C-alpha cells in the first residue's frame, strides 16, 4: 500500500444521467464499484481513465459510495446524486 491517497473528482450530468469521475489508473484492470450506504454493490466496471462515465438512470436513492480499486491502491468517495457538482 502506498501512502499517496488516490484523488478522484466526481460529478453528475443530470441531463444525460451520467456519473463521471476523473481518475487516471496506474495499473491495467483498475475497477470501480458504486455501492449503497449498506455496502451493496449496485454497479461495477472498468476504470476508463482519464474520465470514466457510468449511466445512473437505474440508481434509486441519493447517497452512494464510489470505490476505485487500482492494484494495491484503493479509494472510497461518498457522493449524493443531488449534490455533486
In the chain, domain spans: 9-80
Q: What is the pLDDT of residue 5?
A: 62
Measure CA 69 to chain center. 10
Output the CATH code of domain 9-80: 2.60.40.3080
Taking only the tens of pLDDT, the chain with its 85 residues reads 445 567 789 999 888 889 999 999 999 999 999 999 999 999 999 999 899 999 998 998 889 999 999 999 999 999 988 754 4
Q: What is the pLDDT of residue 14?
A: 83
Coil, strand, or helix at residue 59? coil
Q: What is the pLDDT of residue 81?
A: 83
Q: What is the pLDDT of residue 85?
A: 46
Model-level pTM?
Answer: 0.85
Q: Let me know how many helices (H) and strands (E) the chain has, helices first.
A: 0, 7
Amino acid at each position: 500500500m502506498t501512502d499517496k491517497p488516490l484523488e478522484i473528482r466526481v460529478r453528475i450530468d443530470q441531463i444525460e444521467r451520467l456519473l463521471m469521475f476523473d481518475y487516471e489508473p496506474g495499473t491495467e484492470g483498475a475497477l470501480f464499484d458504486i455501492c449503497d450506504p449498506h455496502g451493496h454493490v449496485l454497479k461495477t466496471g472498468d476504470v476508463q481513465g482519464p474520465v470514466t462515465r457510468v449511466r445512473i438512470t437505474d440508481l434509486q436513492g441519493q447517497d452512494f459510495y464510489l470505490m476505485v480499486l487500482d492494484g494495491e491502491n484503493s479509494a472510497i468517495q461518498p457522493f449524493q446524486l443531488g449534490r455533486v457538482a
